[in-house]
Amino acid sequence: MLHYFGFGANTKPADGPAVKKEEPVRALPASWYSDDNFYNLERRAIFSRRWLFMTHQSRLKGPGDWLRYDVAGYDLIIIRDRAGNINAFHNVCRHRAYPVVEKEGQGTAMILACRYHGWSYGLNGKLAKATGFKDMDKAEKEQNGLFRIHTKIDTNGFIWINMDSNEEPEVPWEEHFDGVDIQERYKQMNFDDYELDHTYELEGDFNWKALSDNFNECYHCPTTHADIPTFLNLDSFDSDLKDGHIQHHCEYTPEQLKKGLNALSTYYFPNTSMTISPHFMMIQKFLPSGAKKSSMHYEVYRNKHSSQEDFDVISKTYAKVMSEDKVLCHNAQKNINSGVYVTGQLHPKHEKAPIFIQGLIREAVSEHFKRERMEGREIWPARQQLPANATVSMEDVEICQGIACTPGGIGYELCEAFHARGLHVIATARNPSVLAGLAGKPGFTCLSLDVTSQGSIDECRDEVARLTGGRLDMLVNNAGRTHTVPATDLDIDDVRATFEANIFGVMAMVKAFARLLIPAKGLLINLSSVASISPYPFGSAYCASKGAVNSYSRTLRQELRPFGVRVMVALPGTVNTNITVQADRQLPPDSLYRPIEDVYKWRLTFSKRISSIPPASYARKLVADALKPEAPVVLRGLLGTLGLCRPDWHYYGGMAGTAWLGSCVGEWLTDTIVYRMFKLPLLEALLKRQEAEARKLK
């Protein structure tokens, strides 16, 4: 996913667009508007973590009044309780996830009851009744209330929510919106004078950001909105870029002011705007339901002191403009989906607001993505936090998280390559959904497997034994993780996780599946790396784990030889996969390598950058050599090197030849090449200069 973050890098995300006057900049890439994986990243990084402007408290007049919304797949309700407080909850029964409110839109209920098993909740979200649970104590009841969503009512009565499941949201409202509700220009408006007139919704096949980009510029207005000049002076239109929001403004003629057409519009990151004029107020929300599908949701309020005629003039004009915007965004998204358009130039003045919003989006997703890479997992802020006594549930959850045999990786391509040779392939992954491209195809069986969980390994082995009648012709151990950190900066718990995946997982798999390989006199392939025999700077933990694979496999070859099971070790060089794991690691502040931090960052993506060998090519080569005939032990080394039989040690990929030659000639050759290749002489020279300068000062 790192390739998502390569576009528009000349746009400053937080403080406004870092662009020179009149210098065009690049828009966000098309993939950000169409890719399902990226949409889910936005759900994690933005919609479940940031504060969202939702509605006005006047819509919830009495106890039990509720509103229901769907925001990026999160079904939620906002409700006023008996004490007059406004609460928000996920519309999810704590028992088995059925919605507690099934009606769309709005309504009134004095109790929130689930029609699935009869659990019910008070308006404050507390569990009132759990059918059949007569012995549930007070503490358990407290733990089984509705999933609460943080709320804030600002100075003007607008309701904000934050779906972060922590006791306090990680991002305080004040961090991005402090003072947004007390803008100087709001002093001329009395928000209590406005009451809801109607709501409506426009659904379409477009990404929510297409709507945001469109709303936040009027560059397109002269071309597509013929009615706008009647109530907007386009020449004076401008936008003030604030932290977390945009204030749009323009000048008005005396005639426009007399008619009450002067409107104050604010866009609140990420997806809501509020426009208010003397006769009219509109809350506009862009609510995504997928990467390519969103709704334009409108709440239109009328000033109770205004005439119907005055209200209709501006209300109907806005409705017409929004319907025109829907067509614009639909047609643009259609071409984005076609795959031709990648990115375009934006005007630094007329489109400065979209540039600003895109920068905020880039900042939010980049920051969250880096955190996920560092922790090696997806971080879903809105997700339920299990209580400390839910250990079994937590183990169940963890089985489905983590490394996957993803398309574009070596493991996935090996499945395709073996299948192309006429073999039935049992493909495994911690999350089987990533094998969707293989599932259902003739010749493939897809199973769940976590090599760091003995229970998962045993279940997989039993299922494989059932499918194969207890005979397995070949086992390929491919699971693993990279680890690029200087030896002096290593976190030992992180190192343990690497060894758990790279070597302990291999050992556990061999122990579990050896008895299936023996009846078939099968072949065991363990994937190591040329890093196991070559000094790979900043990869000491990874090199050590792969070196352990080599030593283990060499001894294993002897132990399994009497049973007719052969052991082959694959040592891939650099392969140009589409997966760059943990490429956003950072050096700690006190690292010895801070002086050459740019070299370290260069090193993080070194393997991907220098290799021209696609994973499919690597997989075909490995499979072809693995299926070659057996040769006598005494001749296997020579014949395997010549490609005349299956080798015990398989070298292929970028730098594989250099590593193999170095192992034959002597360590000095590889050491010399690698030391210079990874620019360590720069650090050596720098340290020598510092030592010399220190001596001069004495």
- The 10s digit of each residue's pLDDT in 467-499 is 889 999 999 998 878 888 899 989 898 899 899
Asked which of 385, 410, 427 is the last residue of a domain, the reply is: 385
* d(C-alpha 28, C-alpha 25), whole Å: 10
The CA distance from 559 to 516, in Å, is 16
What is the pLDDT, as a whole number, of residue 671?
A: 76
How far is it, in rounded angstroms, from Cα 5 to Cα 369?
10
* Domain presence at residue 94: no
**Is residue 432's pLDDT more than 70?**
no
| Whether pLDDT at 607 is above 70 | no
Radius of gyration in angstroms for the set of CA atoms belonging to the chain, rounded to a whole number: 31
Worst-scoring range by mean pLDDT, 9-18, 219-228, 287-296, 673-682?
Answer: 9-18
- Asked whether the predicted pLDDT for residue 456 surpasses 80, the reply is yes
Calpha distance 232→251 (Å, rounded): 8
Region for residue 179 given its phi and psi (left: phi exceeds 0; alpha: psi -120 to 50; beta: otherwise): left
pLDDT in tens, 539-582: 899 999 999 999 999 999 999 999 999 999 999 887 876 554 44
| Pair 518, 563: CB distance under 8 Å | yes
Predicted local confidence at residue 400, as pLDDT: 34
Which of 346-360, 390-404, 538-552, 600-614 is predicted least confidently?
Answer: 390-404
Same domain, 326 and 249: yes
Tokens of 671: 């050491």
pLDDT confidence tier of residue 376, bands split at 50, 70 and 90: low
CATH of the domain at 613: 3.40.50.720
- According to the model, what pLDDT value does residue 402 have? 31
Q: Please indicate, yes or no, whether residues 222 and 335 belong to a single structural domain of this protein.
A: yes
For residue 267, pLDDT over 80 is answered with yes
Residue 220 lies in a domain: yes
| The last residue of a domain, from among 385, 412, 445 | 385
Q: Any idea what the CATH number is for the domain that residue 253 is in?
A: 3.90.380.10
Give the pLDDT of residue 398.
39
Indicate if 371 and 406 belong to the same structural domain: no
459 and 365 in a common domain: no
pLDDT of the residue at 5: 35
At 342-373, the pLDDT tens digits run: 899 999 999 999 999 999 999 999 999 888 76
| 258 shares a domain with 330 | yes
pLDDT tens-place string over residues 511-526: 999 999 999 999 999 9
Token pair for 194: 């406005």
Average pLDDT over residues 305-320: 94
- Report which of residues 423 and 74 the model is more confident about: 74
Residue 186 has pLDDT above 70, yes or no: yes
Residues 469 and 529 in one domain: yes
Same domain, 341 and 403: no
218 and 335 within one domain: yes
CA distances 536 to 43, 482, 675, 688, Å, are: 37, 12, 9, 23
**pLDDT score of 39:** 92
Same domain, 599 and 556: yes
Could you tell me the two tokens for 175? 């961090």
Reply yes or no on whether the pLDDT at 392 is more than 70.
no
Which pLDDT belongs to residue 142? 86
* pLDDT confidence of residue 335: 95
| Helices 308-338 + 208-215 axis angle, to 10 | 130
Sign of CA dihedral 484, 487, 488, 491: positive
* 478 and 588, same domain (yes or no): yes
pLDDT value at residue 662: 62
Residue 271 CB burial class (10 angstroms; 0-12, 13-18, ≥19): buried
Q: In this model, does residue 139 exceed pLDDT 80?
A: no
Q: Would you give the DSSP letter of residue 574?
A: B
| Residue 98 forms part of a structural domain | no
Would you say residue 122 lies in a domain?
no
Which residues belong to the active site?
542, 546
Q: What is the pLDDT of residues 217-249, one digit of tens each?
A: 999 999 999 887 777 778 888 999 998 999 999
Same domain, 305 and 449: no
Where is mean pLDDT largest: 99-113, 444-458, 666-680? 99-113
What's residue 67's pLDDT?
A: 98
- Given 351, 385, 419, which residue is the final one in a domain? 385
Distances, alpha carbon 677 to alpha carbons 289, 655, 659, 670, in Å:
48, 11, 13, 10
Q: Is residue 228 part of a domain?
A: yes
> What CA–CA distance (Å, rounded) separates 206 from 226?
23
Residue 316 lies in a domain: yes
Q: In Å, how far from its chain's centre is CA 405?
A: 17
Q: For the sheet containing 194-204, what is the strand order?
A: 194-204, 293-303, 280-290, 272-276, 264-268, 245-249, 238-242
Which domain covers residue 210, as residue numbers? 188-385
* Domain count for the chain: 2
Q: Is the pLDDT of residue 110 over 90?
A: yes
- Whether the link from the prior residue into 278 is cis, omega within 30° of 0, is no
* pLDDT at res. 271: 98
Q: In this structure, is residue 467 part of a structural domain?
A: yes
Average pLDDT, the chain: 86
Contact 87, 123 (CB under 8 A): yes
Whether residue 551 is found in the same domain as residue 489: yes
Mean pLDDT of 79-103: 96
Query: How far does Cα 432 stand from its chain's mean position?
Result: 18
Higher pLDDT, 620 or 589: 620
pTM over 0.85: no
- Domain annotation covers residue 224: yes
